Structure 1
Amino acid sequence: MQCDYFDAGVCRSCTWMGQAYDAQVATKQARCEELLAPWPGIAWLPPLTSPESGFRNKAKMVVGGTVEAPTLGILDPAGHGIDLRGCGLHEPDLAAALPVLAELVTRAAVPPYDVPTRRGELKHLIVTRSPEGGLMVRFVLRSTEAVPRIRKQLPWLAERLPLVVVSVNLQPEHKAVLEGEREEVLLGDTLRMRTGAVDLHLRPQGFFQTNTHVGAALYRQVEDWADELAPASVWDLYCGVGGFALHLARPGRSVLGVEVSVEAVASARTSAAGLPDVSFVAADATSWALAQETGPDLVVVNPPRRGIGADLAGWLEGSGVPHVVYSSCNAVTLVRDLEAMPSYRPTRARLLDMFPQTAHFEVVTLLERTGVT
């Protein structure tokens, strides 16, 4: 993939830009196998690749510049805006929406937040596109001062973009945090993210994989493994909006998802409407698991980069759960967690290239209890 921003030196976020894509995937696969080498005999499935460009369903843009000439992109070392509206990682329809949103900033007279002077209102624009083309647009503001003007311009915006959800997030503090806790929805409720036969409903503060193609493939892979194992009961820990849980739902199978985000759990419950054996709990995954006396037939974990940690790994080690599926976005912490669970052996694994042009990747492993300690 060729990128004018990278070539000009104005954005180096994609550290592997310019490398042949096949070589990127091969390097990631080699790294995975190196890290998991202490567990010989893993059956590695072929890597699941992504389009090299146009794969991101979400744009997280720092807003800079002025009301008359806003920039959507990143900040330079001095805190001034660099416009990246033409970033080739975004899905084409998502990229096409960014100039319209920049025009809205001008029409609604929303001053971009200026980091050096700590003045202004609009800090970030976060835009997500559904597989069907609908958009969720979130304005991250320092205060509510500009909300009436944004609300007034929504009819104009709706004539130009396929809006499904529009919200305002308040982040009043001067620090490098993408968003705050408070959200005010101006339009709609949830954005439908269809993956295969499952409809997931995304609320403004919910998490969804930023690569729809690879995210759907990840769900299918875990679905295939679970169908082969045929568990009667499943826990989906760190379940987010319920992606794994809803894909693993089957008649007669009890599925329970646990997620600390109340918003994500609300989304998951919306998606699970009509499924009698699927439920969700808003709780810390580790604390909740440690409070349970018995475990299910299968546990799926999809933790953040820090991994599941010693407490949850220790609980799984002593739980008697026969199989665990571990979906990891950080293979280093995956290895650390595996070392804390010596009774489990990874039997199958697959690299999923969720993040082309960077060193990051997802790896999913199927763990089988061996009884060896």
Structure 2
Amino acid sequence: MDELTPMDGQVESDDRTASPPRTIAVGIILNPKHPATLRAYADLVPELQKAGAHHRSMTTSVERSGRWQAEQLIEWGADAVIILGGDGTIRATAPVLAKAGMLTFLIPTGTANVLSRHIGLRSTRHAIDHCVRAVASIIRDGSTNLRGIPINTAEYQRADGRRHRTEFISLAGTGGDARAVAHHHSAPGLLGYAWGAARALFAADFTVGTVDTLNTADGSGGADTSDTGGSASAPVWSVMASKVARPAGPIAVFPQARIDAEAFNVLRVGPIPDRLIARCRAWAGIATVCLQGRPQAHPLMNYRSTTEITVSLESPMPTHLDGDLIGDCLELRVSAGEKKLLVSAPTA
């Protein structure tokens, strides 16, 4: 195996000159932040070579988190791209790969690995096995099982007044859930997210100026014939828009959400009582219905289904996309996308 020295987007290996005639060219994008990435890479490459694939590998960095690497591999002539990393690496590369209609494989080596879990990849080893089998199948007869994952759009205004536009995959949120993300570095791995969530439970509610939705349906799946919907100013703990049922852990917080759906499952939590005992009782009640698989039964868990939502805030609040904090924002608008990432997924 070629030695990997993580650098700023450096091409790490290109074995086409030393291998038999080309059958399929595979680009590999790896995020070296997690030790699991390099272990997975060491297992993957020999199996790809044995299956008859040629590869070229590129590492990400803070400055170049995946977009540039995807562009380089497409220009190189990749027939498929494998991403070794977490949801942040996928989010950085997905818009480029989706635009190119590139066949994409995911090998989860991040912390949460939300997208990978929701397309049926149970572990890093399972993902490697699926990838190698699928590549061999493509070489043999050109077949593979694909899922189209929409690339969604987020427009947001930070506390300094500047507006930004970017893309994301599965989850956007502002308020309490973003506070949990903000504190996850306090401890390693999933323990950090658990600690951040515990701290966020006791954070004060905030005021949502407006919550406007378009093309909506009610939380039970019934149609809402109005063009717009929402609420007046009200205190809430968090507002989230999701296309995954289980954004963290095994509990289905968004039971109606589907990763390849057109619409988001939107959840507004709160208002949570200020007094400590009442707040603890409220969270205990929410935890109970979530564990029972019916979170929508709690009066503080308010769901809608929509393809677009704008959240305006009276004061800046922490905001995240796919579990990556984007800062304190005054406004967040998310729109369901039509452009799709073509991901190879295990059969059910």
Give the structure-1-normalised TM-score: 0.32
**1 or 2 for the larger relative contact order (CA 8 Å, sep ≥6)?**
2
* More strand by percentage: 2
Give the structure-2-normalised TM-score: 0.34
